[in-house]
Amino acid sequence: MLDELKTKSPNMASLVEAYDTARSSDPLFMQGVRALRGMSREDPIQDVRGRHKPVTITDDEDFPNLLEALYRIRCNLFHGGKDANDARDQVLVKNAALVLKQWIGELIKGWD
């Protein structure tokens, strides 16, 4: 499903549309994206299990790597790779949550 979303498959139209809306109209969304981009440039987002290469978000248009970073942060969080006392991990999780909150909010608005 992640690969379908990365390629903006027609099956993912509602998610892509919600992303595009959040990206173009929500300053908080872009604030989160830019924070994640900056952090990934300083220190790429790792897979704590070592199964996948580190992720760097190259620019604000880098949809595939943003998705991969969000997914990686989620996986690391749920599989024990994030430390609640680590300042970087806190910022990564907060910014990923900000992006997802705004994105999902746009998706839900489209349901009404």
Residues composing the chain:
112
Mean pLDDT of 9-36: 95
Question: What span, in angstroms and rounded, lies between the C-alpha atoms of 107 and 22?
Answer: 9
How many angstroms separate the CA atoms of 3 and 24, rounded?
A: 23
Query: Is residue 18 a contact partner of residue 101, using CB atoms and an 8 Å limit?
Result: no
**Would you say residue 81 has pLDDT above 70?**
no
pLDDT (tens digit, 9 = 90+) per residue, 40-66?
999 999 888 778 899 999 999 999 999
Q: What is the mean pLDDT of residues 72-82?
A: 81
